Amino acid sequence: MDFATSLEFNSEVFPGVRYSIRRVTFAGRLELTRRIADLLGALQFHEAGRSMESRAAAAALAGEIDRLYLAWGLLAISGLTIDGLDCTPDAVILSGPETLCAEIVSAIKRECTLSERERKNSLSHSISTVTPRPGGDATNAGRTDGRNRGIAGSSAQNAARDQCGR
């Protein structure tokens, strides 16, 4: 088996443009995660805010994260010139068409995301690190009034029952 470390795509938004992105490897995923981890935390914080400043900060952080994805993942580009010069990955980031950058970032993010099938396969029963749930029934041991006999509901259902006095 030959594992190719890059993937090539024809641009959907710019016919004739072809780009190559990095294929995700274990070390590559770690490197990218290190690069964007702090920014993702700040992005989540600002996305939760309601002020214009928070929204502007969130937009700036999202753009910076996309720039990091491009810098990390875009290996080569062909079929595009910018101001008469052959295009390089750096030139695309600095001066390239925004729609092309968005297309490439989407391709890189798709490559970085495990599919549902890949996630299921990564949790093989023989090597899974998921801790099994403890045995026993789902009754609340602290209850003495018999309200939680049998199968327990969700926490929200239990809280709703408690509020209604049932």
Q: List, for residues 107-163, the tens digit of each pLDDT value.
A: 999 998 865 555 455 554 444 444 555 555 555 555 455 444 444 444 443 433 333
Let me know if residue 38 belongs to a domain: yes
Instruction: Confirm whether pTM is higher than 0.75.
Output: no
**Alpha-carbon gap, residue 116 to 32, rounded angstroms:** 21
Each residue's pLDDT tens digit, 20-37: 999 999 999 899 989 888
Whether residue 44 is contained in a domain is answered as yes
- Give a yes or no: residue 163 inside a domain: no
Residue 1 domain-assigned?
A: no
State how far the Cα of 64 lies from the Cα of 46, in Å rounded to an integer. 14
Asked if residue 149 belongs to a domain, the reply is no
Q: Is 37 contained in some domain?
A: yes
Kindly provide the residue ranges of all beta strands, DSSP E only, lying in the chain, ordered along the sequence.
6-10, 18-22, 74-78, 81-82, 85-86
Domain extent at residue 79: 6-116
Number of structural domains in the chain = 1
- Model pLDDT for residues 77-103, shown as the tens digit of each residue: 999 999 999 999 999 999 999 999 999
128 within a domain of the structure (yes/no): no
- 165 within domain boundaries: no
Query: Maximum Cα–Cα distance for the chain, whole Å?
Result: 80
d(CA 89, CA 79): 12
User: Sheet of 74-78: strands edge to edge?
Assistant: 6-10, 18-22, 74-78
